[in-house]
Structure formats: structure tokens, C-alpha cells
Amino acid sequence: MAVPVDTTSQNWRFLRVGIAAAAVAATVCGACGQAQADFRLCNNTGSRVGVAIGYKDGENWMTEGWWNLSSRSCETILRGPLASRYYYIYAVDYDRGGEWSGKAFMCTRDKEFTIRGISDCLARGFERTGFFEVDTIQQQSWTVQLTESTEQAPANPLQPQGSSTGAAAPPSAKIPFTTPSLSAGSVR
């Protein structure tokens, strides 16, 4: 289920996220023959990156953070088969100050967090942060590849730890980096 969007804002300076599927097969565990089903994120940049995720948990919206990824590394953000089609990501470049953001506004905070609900963030003492939408097309496993804006999709994208060699890569999306911008809006 997608998040509702408020399109009345006049300050639309958002990253238009281009998503390209890198593969359509799920990662297969070579030794056991079972499919691994997770939501993974790979940092294909030369910088350290902090990541937060938003998703629908039953009837409630949840946001969680922070996963700290070193440069050129991958991390499993959610383990197990994906329960939703849409997930939302916000990431910040710790070394150069840029971000990967979007127009789906959710609650975050500076320190580690798990927050229920996406409304009244400021009134509840949280930050209101723009996340970008990831459409997993209802796959059970998905990998997001964060890249810098000047980079092309990696010819050999990073594979999360535990991916066996010779196995098909999970479906994924390449998300280019953008510099921070001031903007207003609401979640979609």
C-alpha cells in the first residue's frame, strides 16, 4: 500500500528516483537450496552512509534507523520475506553531507529509533524527513543500490554477505545520490 501524498506544496525540489531492476530472480542459498528473502541495501559510494527505513506493519506505519554502512558494503535491513510492496528509504552521506530523499514524509530522530506512526512528527518530538519510495513489485526479496549521481549502475553491483557465487542476484534498484535541498510536502 502506498503512502498518501500531499501535492499542495509549492517547494517541490525532490529527487526523482529512477528505478531500474537489475535482475528478477531471488538469491538462492547454494548450500541449502532455499531462497533467501530479505530487504537489503548496498552502499556503492566511497562514503559512509546512514540509512532509515519506513514501512507498513499491519495497520501501522513504522520507521526505523539507523543502519551505518561503510563504503562499498551491503547490509540486510529487514530479514525474511517482504510483507509489503512499498518500502521507504532515507539515507545520508556522513562524509560529504548529501542525502537520498524523497517526498514521502515520515518521522525520524538523530539517534537509533523505532517510531510508530507517520503523522504529527514534530509535535511528538521527532524530525519530519522525506523518504523515497521503493516499489518491490511484490517480490519476496529486494536489494537497493545507493550510488553517487555521477555514477552509472555498477556493472557488478555489490552483493550482500551470504550470497553464494553463481546464484542469481535478487531484484534491486539503483538510487542516485543528490545534494540536500529545502522542501516541503507530505507523504504519498
27 within some domain: no
Domain with 123, as residue range(s), is: 38-172
* Neighbour count for residue 153 (Cβ, 10 Å): 15
Dig out the grid coordinates for 101 from the structure: 530523499
110 within some domain: yes
* 85, 105 Cβ separation under 8 angstroms: no
pLDDT tens for residues 145-177? 999 875 444 455 555 544 433 333 344 454 544
79 within some domain: yes
pLDDT tens for residues 83-106? 899 999 999 999 999 999 999 999
Nearest to 17 by CA among 93, 131, 105: 131
Question: pTM of the full predicted structure?
Answer: 0.67
* 14, 102 Cβ separation under 8 angstroms: yes
H and E: helices and strands count for the chain: 0, 11
pLDDT tens for residues 51-88? 999 999 889 999 999 999 999 999 999 999 998 999 99
45 within some domain: yes
* Neighbour count for residue 147 (Cβ, 10 Å): 19
122 within some domain: yes
185 within some domain: no
| Number of independent structural domains in the chain | 1
Please name every residue paired with 146 in a beta bridge, in sequence order, or none if there are none.
Answer: 43, 175
